[in-house]
C-alpha cells in the first residue's frame, strides 16, 4: 500500500495547473487592487477640491434701536470674514510620491 501511494502520480498535473492559475489570479488581484486604490485616491482628491472651493465668507450688518427721545436702546455691531485660498485648496498639495533620491555616501 505504501509502494502504491509513492508511485501514484495521478493529479500531479492538476495540482501544477492549479498553482499556475492561482498565481496568475493573485497577480491579477494585486494589479486590480492597486488600480482601485489609485481611483479611490483620485475621487477623494476631487471631493477635497470641491470642499476647498466652497466660499465660507460671511457678512452681516449691525443694527440699532433707539428710544423715542433719540437715545440708543440697543446696538449690535456687524461682522465680516473673508475666506482666502489656503495652501491645499484647488489641488495645490501634491499627495503623490516624490522622485527617488540617490543615497549619500556612508559616513565612517
51 closest CA partner among 11, 106, 91, 2 = 91
* The dihedral sign for the CA sequence 85, 86, 89, 93: positive
End-to-end Cα separation, the chain, in angstroms: 66
CA 58 to chain centre: 29
| pLDDT > 60? residue 94 | no
Query: Interior CA angle at 20 toward 17 and 22, to 5°?
Result: 105
Higher pLDDT, 11 or 2: 2
Q: CA 44 to CA 81: how far, in whole Å?
A: 28
Tens of pLDDT, residues 22-67: 999 999 999 999 999 999 988 988 887 788 778 788 888 888 888 8
Amino acid at each position: 500500500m505504501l509502494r502504491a501511494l509513492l508511485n501514484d502520480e495521478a493529479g500531479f498535473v492538476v495540482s501544477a495547473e492549479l498553482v499556475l492559475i492561482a498565481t496568475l489570479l493573485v497577480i491579477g488581484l494585486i494589479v486590480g487592487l492597486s488600480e482601485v486604490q489609485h481611483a479611490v485616491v483620485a475621487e477623494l482628491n476631487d471631493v477635497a477640491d470641491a470642499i476647498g472651493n466652497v466660499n465660507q465668507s460671511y457678512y452681516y450688518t449691525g443694527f440699532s434701536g433707539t428710544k423715542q427721545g433719540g437715545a440708543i436702546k440697543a446696538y449690535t455691531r456687524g461682522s465680516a470674514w473673508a475666506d482666502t485660498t489656503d495652501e491645499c485648496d484647488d489641488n495645490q498639495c501634491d499627495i503623490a510620491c516624490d522622485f527617488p533620491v540617490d543615497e549619500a555616501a556612508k559616513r565612517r
